Amino acid sequence: MQDADILIINASELVTCAGPVTGRIGDDLGKLDIIRDGALAITGGRIVAVGPTDALLSAWRGKETIDAGHRLVSPGFVDAHSHLLFGGDRCCEYEGKVKGRILGANLETGINATIQATRRADDRTLVEQALSDLDEALLYGTTTLEAKTGYGLSRDHELRLLRLTSGLEHEVDILPTFLGAHVLPDEYRNRRDEYVQLVIDMLPDVLPYTRSCDVACDPACFTAAECLRIGRHARELGMTLRVHADQTGDAGGAAVAAALGAASADHLDQSSAEGLRAMAAAGTVGIFFPGVTFHMLEMVPPLTEDGIGAAEKPYMPQSVRRALQAGVVCAISADFNPGSCPSISMQMMMQMAMRLFRLSYAEVWNMSTLNPAVSLGLAADRGSLEPGKRADVLIWNEIDHRRAVNRFGSNRVDTVMKSGRIVVRGQNLIRSTAAPAKSASPAG
């Protein structure tokens, strides 16, 4: 017998989401690794064995045993794209958008409103709101979250957002990204080059906080040439690139991401087929946002005078399908932000992705766990339940991985384990530093 710190046994399904560290792709994306009546052994916060409960119990002895009670067990969600720190909200503009009173892309004014509110907000307000949002993410099963700046857009404000993001103390692992090139701030309206140069000049100063840099390559944001210029400087400093690509139009963002060897290119609504193929060749992960599709009404035609109109741009399901067909490793994330996706629930994203993007159960599970971990360079460490990986584990109030997606809206995660420690039990946050040594066995 081998000793482990913790055994989790009697999972109706242990959905491991196991796969190559380069991510699941093509037909392989539609395959989901499931162990019926599964179990796992954990030592030092890491998984040391997975298998059927019988086999595990005959080989491993746990100091603590958690009985999953014949329920679904899965990896924690990896959310690879969020705008965590921001001031205010954008409720006031949303009804106008829904009713068709705001015409065209409102991206710029919307973001500028948030930039002003973020600059005005004091540190404490921003941090308290972020911690509250992180609590919600954790309760819904997110255990790793990428968090971008991008609502400061001056040296002082961007560095403040990075400092605050890096200082957040929470059970969710937070990976900060510098997004100085989010949109052109109002005060630089006729001085694009000056702002691009400012972002480049800021790069050495952000290194103490992050090695991850995002640029927005979009007709409403920055050109391909500007993004390449910033991206190459970032790369010379050893930074990893991420790209907001082609959301409101094809700005060549997918190709820029590929040329920079970016870890991810996100949105890709209007990307060219050549750009997507270049991403596939470069190993750049494509990240899609069902919450944005839903909230920005991208699945319904825009309103016209008589209340009925034809869709003017390709539906998002086409974008995902095109990227999959081009051989891109695809993931989904929340893109939590006040304007285009005021939801941080990856559970909801997985549920919406199946419907809006016409994906299979297996595809949305892999796209919420392993594949986003690939985009963060963390697939060897998390994103699936495999020996050697971090014990970020969810126990669901469901018996079947399909039901966890088929239902939607309510929270079906009961227990969250982060690096081998129970941090949510019975849908309640467990905050005592002296974690109870006793078994966290749920009823049944």
Residues interacting with Zn ion, by CB under 5 A? 335
Residue placing its CB nearer to Zn ion in the complex, 287 or 416: 287
Query: Least CB distance from residue 180 to Zn ion, whole Å?
Result: 14
Q: Which residues of 392-427 are buried (b: 16+ CB within 10 A; e: fewer)?
A: bbbbbbbebbbebbeeeeeebbbbbbbbbebbbbee
Give the Å distances, CA to CA, from 348 to 100, 117, 273, 407.
Answer: 26, 27, 29, 9
Distance from chain centroid for Cα 184: 24
The nearer residue to Zn ion, 53 or 264, going by C-beta atoms, is 264
Choice between 67 and 146, CB closer to Zn ion:
146
What is the smallest separation between the CB atom of 114 and Zn ion, expressed in angstroms?
A: 12
Closest CB to Zn ion among 244 and 412? 244
- Which C-beta is closer to Zn ion: that of 173 or that of 335? 335
348-352: Cβ within 8 A, 24+ apart: 348/140, 348/291, 348/408, 348/409, 349/79, 349/289, 349/290, 349/291, 350/77, 350/404, 350/405, 351/405, 351/406, 351/407, 351/408, 351/409, 352/290, 352/291, 352/293, 352/294, 352/408
What is the phi-psi region of residue 166: left when phi exceeds 0, alpha when psi lies from -120 to 50, beta otherwise?
alpha
In the complex with Zn ion, the residue whose CB is nearer, 60 or 357, is: 357
CB closer to Zn ion, 67 vs 335? 335
Q: How far is the CB of 148 from Zn ion (least distance, A)?
A: 6
| Nearest-approach distance from CB 53 to Zn ion, in angstroms | 41
Q: Using an 8 Å Cβ cutoff, are 183 and 153 in contact?
A: yes
Pairing between β-strand 34-43 and β-strand 2-15 as defined by DSSP bridges:
antiparallel
Nearer to Zn ion among residue 196 and residue 334 (C-beta): 334
Q: Which residue has the tokens 């066995």?
A: 441
User: 96-104 contacts: CB < 8 A, separation 24 or more?
Assistant: 97/296, 97/297, 98/297, 99/303, 100/302, 100/303
CB of 191 to Zn ion, least distance (A): 24
Q: Residue 433 carries which DSSP code?
A: S
Residue closer to Zn ion (CB basis): 51 or 338: 338
Nearest one of 187, 148, 154, 177 to 341, comparing CA atoms:
148
Least distance in angstroms from the C-beta of 83 to Zn ion: 6
Q: How far is the CB of 96 from Zn ion (least distance, A)?
A: 22
Least spacing, CB of residue 85 vs Zn ion, in Å: 13
Closest contact distance (angstroms) between CB of 244 and Zn ion is 5
Residue closer to Zn ion (CB basis): 33 or 335: 335
Backbone angles phi, psi at 370, to 5 degrees: -65, -50
Q: Where are the beta strands (DSSP E) in 160-272?
A: 173-181, 212-217, 240-245, 264-267
Angle (CA) 201 202 203, round 5° = 95
In the bound complex, which residue of the shown chain has the CB atom lying closest to Zn ion?
A: 335
Q: At its nearest, how many Å lie between Zn ion and the CB of residue 299? A: 19
User: In angstroms, rounded to a whole number, what is the distance separating the alpha carbons of residues 203 and 214?
Assistant: 11
- What is the rounded distance in angstroms from the CA atom of residue 116 to the CA atom of residue 239? 28
